[in-house]
């Protein structure tokens, strides 16, 4: 049907607004700091084909990439006739959901005048689902999903508006924080009910035919916008590879990430077949998120996401790949490598999009802050949770941002110091940017963070951040890599902090931990950075005077102003030294940047954008 422009634009903005209102409702009524403070969730509307209608702005992007498979699996399980008004489905099973079990999905069917038209869905991070799941999940060393926690496979917690009391009690009796997790479940349900009311209002005002026609046209227009961007790129095959240090079980054995991108006209194919096979360690996943998040970032980062955002993209991931693991491959640390996969896809297109592609960002899901135990006075369980951001890569036109979560995490943010200390027996001694953690460049990378925490009671720490020491956040076009992150621990009586890794590490009263995040790579030659900018970075404490001289060739006077004549002479010497080094024989592969390349790029097409 033909839609007038005004009606189409109202509906185009109304659909994300519904998802945004769901998010606000969830955030304000939830019990769990990971939801109301960190915002580790997404809210969405999907049609009966599993196609994404809308998602909340800032929702966790690697959550929403695989919601549709849950709808199609639920319909396979129950059939359209198997859903009725008042049903509420709970699911987190990895055979379909492909994530750690803490990411619990609640969804409800939406009926208009008795016809099933769509589903309201909320995926949110519960702090515990039993087993070893406390915190951000059981980590990469958990052997299988049964050890990780409760597996809930498309179960109706409410059927026709009536609570399944047996299922409710099973969940309640098998998790450590039932008040929090079941409270969050009710918040997820409330958000879905709110969405149903708002969709009733829209359908009553415009009618079913108009709403469905608008959704179809929005999908088509979004697809065309993405095609317009891709059609401007040279045809060809582009490749890149990176790695993480190990999977947490096979120590020292790198986990390879290899991508191949083919552009033909306005079509793009992202092939992840070259990535590692599925592992015994729990860093497997079953997701298109890596490819979809990268494609969205490249083609329409500021546009609302819907199914049309991905229609012109073909993703190849074979069964048994680390990104398409087969149940029961453990998936507790499922998201560990996804940001690096996204970054590697972006890096592969650096030659095709030199004016848009940044250097590598910290490429991890930030520094996970997880400390938990039993408070000796109240005898109540507690858990500290936060996510600390890191540095993003320098860009072709400005420095990278500092202390920001990964490309996969939407508007996820760290917990406030006040909130952490108010609710849990810890003291945050400091939270600050790490000097010199950024890669040097004409546009430097963003800085990582050091968060220092002292525990006031005995408890257990989780230190399970994936390592990127062998392949740190890479520089681009002459920039240097950023510093990787990690964890450090100092027990009572010890004088120095020591590197630490692992889960459920017991500590006594007054132990101190540092959660350290990586910095972003630099973009462009550091010797081309304005000396005044370097001096300002030194004055702000972002880089040291030593780094200013060694990496940027900037000589500072006693008052921290740049000595331009001495700076020019030093930079000339550094450039001469580079030429001599470049002429020397190469002695091995460079592990500080991804290997990238383009095969047979065609000449840029001329003519109007389609």
pLDDT at residue 555 greater than cutoff 90: yes
**Mean pLDDT, residues 471-479:** 95
What integer is the mean pLDDT of 289-317? 94
β-strands 313-316, 267-271 pairing: parallel
% of the chain beyond a pLDDT of 90: 77
The DSSP bridge pattern shows strands 52-55 and 103-112 to be unpaired
- Which region among 10-14, 250-254, 266-270, 574-578 has the lowest average model confidence (pLDDT)? 250-254
Provide the 10 A C-beta neighbour count for residue 355: 7
What does the angle CA 337 – CA 254 – CA 258 come to, to the nearest 5 degrees? 60
Which H or E run includes 422?
Answer: helix 417-423
What is the rounded CA–CA span in Å between residue 269 and residue 276?
A: 19
**Residue 158 binned pLDDT confidence (cut-offs 50, 70, 90):** very high
| Rounded Cα–Cα distance for residues 208 and 193 (Å) | 19
The side-by-side arrangement of strands in the sheet containing 459-463 is 381-388, 367-374, 459-463, 502-507
Q: How far apart are CA 429 and CA 367, in angstroms?
A: 16
Taking only the tens place, the pLDDT of each residue in 63-78 is 877 899 999 999 999 9
Looking at the chain, the number of H-run helices and the number of E-run strands are 14, 21
State pLDDT tens for residues 196-225.
999 999 999 999 999 999 999 999 999 999
270 Cβ partners below 8 Å, 6+ apart?
259, 260, 261, 291, 294, 295, 313, 314, 315, 316, 345
Model confidence at 10: pLDDT above 60 = yes
**C-alpha–C-alpha distance, residues 517 and 177, integer Å:** 28
User: In which element (H, E) is residue 23 found?
Assistant: helix 5-29
Residue 258 has pLDDT above 90, yes or no: yes
Could you read off the pLDDT of 98-153 as tens digits, one per residue? 999 999 999 999 999 999 999 999 999 999 999 988 877 777 888 899 999 999 99
Residue 597 pLDDT exceeds 80:
no
Which pLDDT score is estimated for 592?
A: 54
Given a cut of 60, whether residue 600 has pLDDT beyond it is no
Residues 545 and 536 sit within 8 Å (Cβ to Cβ): no
Beta bridge partners of 47: 118
Q: Which residues contact 439 (CB under 8 A, 6 or more apart)?
A: 359, 393, 394, 445, 473, 474, 475, 479, 480, 481, 482, 519, 520, 521, 522
Residue 465 is predicted with a pLDDT of 67
Q: What is the mean pLDDT of residues 578-607?
A: 56
What is the structure's pLDDT at 606? 36
- The lowest-confidence range among 101-105, 325-329, 379-383, 491-495 is 379-383
Least confident of 61-65, 286-290, 551-555: 61-65
Is the per-residue pLDDT at 558 higher than 50?
yes
Please tell me the distance from the alpha carbon of residue 423 to that of residue 112, in angstroms, as a whole number.
43
The confidence score (pLDDT) of residue 610 equals 32
Q: Please answer whether residues 314 and 270 qualify as being in contact, where contact means their C-beta atoms are separated by less than 8 angstroms.
A: yes
Measured distance CA(398)–CA(359) in Å, rounded: 11
Whole-prediction pTM value? 0.92
Determine the Cα angle at 483 with ends 563 and 35, to 5°: 120
| SS3 per residue for 537-601 | HHHCCCCCHHHHHHHHCCCECCCCCECHHHHHHHHHHHHHHHHHHHHCCCCCCCCCCCEEEEECC
Q: Which helix (H) or strand (E) element contains residue 178?
A: helix 178-206
Average pLDDT over residues 31-35: 88
> CA 263 from chain center: how many Å?
25
Instruction: State the residue for tokens 């369980």.
Output: 381
d(CA 181, CA 18): 24
DSSP conformational letter for 261 = E
Backbone angles phi, psi at 170, to 5 degrees: -60, -45
pLDDT of residue 13 exceeding 50: yes
The reported pLDDT for the residue numbered 280 is 92
Indicate whether 601 pLDDT > 80.
no
């Amino acid at each position: 049907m033909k839609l007038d422009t005004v009606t189409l634009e109202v509906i185009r903005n109304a659909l994300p607004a519904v998802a945004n209102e769901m998010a606000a409702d969830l955030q304000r009524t939830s019990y769990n700091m990971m939801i109301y403070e960190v915002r580790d969730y997404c809210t969405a509307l999907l049609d009966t084909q599993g196609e994404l209608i809308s998602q909340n702005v800032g929702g966790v992007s690697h959550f929403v990439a695989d919601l549709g498979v849950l709808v199609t699996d639920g319909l396979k399980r129950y059939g359209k006739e198997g859903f009725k008004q008042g049903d509420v489905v709970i699911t987190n099973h990895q055979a379909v959901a492909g994530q750690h079990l803490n990411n619990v999905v609640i969804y409800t069917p939406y009926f208009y005048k008795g016809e099933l038209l769509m589903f309201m869905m909320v995926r949110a991070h519960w702090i515990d689902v039993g087993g070893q799941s406390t915190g951000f999940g059981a980590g990469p060393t958990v052997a299988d999903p049964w050890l990780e926690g409760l597996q809930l496979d498309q179960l109706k917690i409410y059927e026709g508006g009536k609570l399944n009391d047996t299922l409710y009690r099973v969940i309640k009796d098998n998790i450590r924080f039932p008040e929090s997790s079941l409270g969050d479940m009710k918040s997820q349900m409330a958000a879905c009910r709110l969405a149903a009311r708002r969709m009733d209002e829209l359908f009553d005002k415009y009618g079913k035919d108009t709403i469905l026609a608008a959704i179809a046209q929005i999908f088509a227009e979004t697809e065309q916008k993405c095609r317009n961007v891709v059609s401007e790129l040279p045809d060809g095959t582009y490749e890149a590879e990176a790695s993480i240090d190990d999977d947490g079980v096979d120590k020292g054995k790198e986990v390879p990430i290899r991508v191949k991108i083919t552009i033909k006209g306005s079509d793009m194919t992202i092939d992840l077949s070259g990535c590692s096979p599925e592992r015994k360690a729990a860093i497997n996943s079953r997701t298109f998120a890596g490819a979809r998040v990268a494609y969205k970032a490249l083609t329409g980062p500021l546009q609302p996401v819907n199914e049309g955002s991905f229609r012109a993209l073909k993703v190849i991931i074979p069964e048994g790949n680390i990104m398409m693991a087969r149940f029961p491959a453990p998936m507790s640390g499922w998201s560990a490598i996804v940001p690096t996969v996204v970054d590697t896809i972006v890096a592969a297109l650096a030659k095709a999009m030199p004016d848009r592609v940044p250097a590598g960002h910290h490429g991890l899901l930030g520094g996970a802050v997880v400390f938990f135990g039993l408070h000796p006075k109240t005898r109540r369980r507690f858990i500290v949770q936060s996510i600390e951001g890191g540095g993003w890569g320098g860009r072709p036109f400005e420095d990278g941002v500092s202390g920001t979560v990964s490309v996969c995490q939407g508007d996820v943010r760290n917990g406030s110091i006040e909130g952490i200390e108010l609710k849990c027996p810890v003291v945050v001694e400091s939270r600050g940017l790490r000097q010199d953690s950024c890669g040097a460049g004409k546009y430097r990378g963003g800085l990582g963070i050091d968060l220092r925490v002292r525990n006031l009671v005995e408890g257990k720490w989780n230190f399970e951040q994936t390592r990127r020491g062998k392949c740190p956040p890479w520089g681009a076009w002459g920039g240097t890599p950023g510093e990787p992150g990690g964890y450090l621990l100092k027990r009572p009586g010890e004088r120095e902090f020591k590197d630490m890794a692992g889960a459920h590490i017991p500590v006594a009263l007054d132990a101190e931990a540092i959660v350290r995040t990586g910095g972003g790579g630099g973009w462009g030659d550091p010797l081309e950075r304005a000396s005044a900018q370097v001096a300002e970075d030194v004055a702000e404490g972002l880089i040291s005077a030593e780094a200013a001289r060694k990496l940027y060739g900037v000589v500072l006077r006693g008052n921290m102003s740049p000595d331009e004549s001495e700076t020019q002479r030093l930079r000339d010497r550094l450039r001469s030294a580079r030429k001599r080094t470049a002429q020397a024989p190469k002695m091995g592969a460079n592990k500080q940047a991804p290997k990238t390349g383009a095969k047979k790029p065609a000449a840029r097409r001329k003519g109007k954008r389609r």
